């Protein structure tokens, strides 16, 4: 029944505006054992608001936002883009950062008006500054969707921001649909902190949780799950690209413009826009029904 299933899947995919390169991802879609989900921008809507700003030194909250947003102009991370948007909304005019070095999924370093600036995950900034971000951050809430972004200036921890990102509505229903379609294991793989990962996993009833992962560790997780069966990875097309490429089926959420063409070229199934997970479930359900 494979050719019939593929024809049905392909026309369905085309109908939904999903780009498919080659038949292999669709064939794999019919036999997925494990679904690995990224959190930020995948399970959450990726449009967080800043809910609090904590300075650990002399900088005001406005100075912190100015430096973090100026630096984050150099990053395509959804959190980075949210910070830039907040700053622009407040009318800040941001200088262009120099000497930029991005560590994908962790943070970005560079120079702004002669100051060495780091912005990114608490672990990323703590590893490159003095000051105890870990203790400070452990007091922050573990609400699903809450994100902590740390700021380092001239080698010292300057402070951190707490951002609230909401879980996408309807995710629990989508995951139930995928289980119906035959997926046995649904696990979370996030670069975010353990408290947040556990809270998300509890809310959605997931089968496994991996927190504090770097993009390389996500690749290792995908490969180790592949030794047990077919793996679909759903993540962010930019930061999770290596993990998406390592899976049998890679799904890039919300990839637009240049990012969309990159993931399409790599053979991922790529959303043109919007609620992709639903589209993938529909295709998986059809393929499994026809098998």
Catalytic residues: 38
Out of 18, 29, 36, 38, point to the residue binding Mg ion (CB under 5 A).
38
Out of 72, 236, 279, 282, point to the residue binding Mg ion (CB under 5 A).
236
Q: Which of 41, 271 has the CB closer to Mg ion?
A: 41
Q: Which of 177, 215 has the CB closer to ligand ADP?
A: 215
Q: Does 165 bind Mg ion (CB under 5 A)?
A: no
User: How is residue 6 written in tokens?
Assistant: 């593929």
Q: Does 191 bind ligand ADP (CB under 6 A)?
A: yes
In whole angstroms, give the CA distance from residue 254 to residue 266.
16
In whole angstroms, give the CA distance from residue 103 to residue 108.
6
- What distances in angstroms separate CA 67 from CA 10, 111, 196, 248, one per listed residue? 47, 10, 26, 40
For tokens 């909401």, what's the residue?
Answer: 166
> Which DSSP letter does residue 107 get?
E
Q: Does 77 bind ligand ADP (CB under 6 A)?
A: yes
In whole angstroms, give the CA distance from residue 172 to residue 37.
13
Q: Does 102 bind Mg ion (CB under 5 A)?
A: no
Residue 73 contact partner, candidates Mg ion, ligand ADP, none, CB within 5 to 8 A by sort of partner: none
Least separation in angstroms between residue 145's CB and ligand ADP is 10
Cα angle 96, 257, 88; round to 5: 35
The footprint of ligand ADP (CB under 6 A) covers 38-41, 72, 75, 77, 79-80, 105-108, 119-121, 147-149, 190-192, 236, 239
């Amino acid at each position: 029944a494979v050719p019939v299933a593929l024809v049905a899947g392909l026309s369905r995919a085309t109908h939904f505006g999903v780009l498919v390169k080659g038949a292999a991802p669709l064939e794999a879609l019919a036999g997925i054992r494990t679904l690995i989900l990224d959190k930020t921008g995948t399970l959450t809507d990726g449009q967080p608001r800043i809910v609090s700003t904590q300075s650990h030194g002399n900088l005001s909250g406005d100075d912190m936002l100015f430096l973090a947003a100026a630096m984050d102009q150099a990053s395509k991370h959804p959190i980075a883009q949210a910070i830039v948007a907040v700053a622009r909304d407040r009318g800040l005019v941001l200088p262009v950062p120099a000497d930029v070095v991005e560590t994908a999924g962790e943070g970005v370093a560079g120079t702004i008006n002669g100051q060495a600036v780091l912005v990114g995950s608490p672990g990323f900034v703590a590893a490159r500054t003095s000051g105890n971000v870990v203790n400070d951050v452990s007091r922050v809430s573990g609400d699903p969707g809450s994100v902590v972004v740390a700021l380092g200036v001239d080698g010292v921890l300057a402070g951190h921001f707490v951002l609230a990102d909401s879980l996408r509505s309807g995710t629990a229903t989508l995951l139930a649909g995928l289980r119906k379609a035959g997926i046995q294991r649904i696990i979370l793989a996030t670069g975010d902190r353990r408290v947040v990962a556990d809270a998300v996993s509890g809310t959605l009833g997931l089968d496994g949780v991996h927190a504090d992962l770097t993009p390389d560790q996500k690749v290792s997780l995908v490969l180790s799950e592949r030794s047990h069966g077919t793996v679909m990875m759903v993540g962010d097309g930019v930061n999770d690209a290596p993990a998406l490429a390592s899976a049998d089926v890679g799904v890039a959420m919300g990839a637009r413009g240049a990012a969309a063409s990159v993931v399409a070229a790599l053979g991922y199934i790529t959303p043109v826009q919007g609620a992709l997970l639903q589209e993938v479930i529909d295709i998986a359900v059809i393929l499994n029904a026809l098998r």
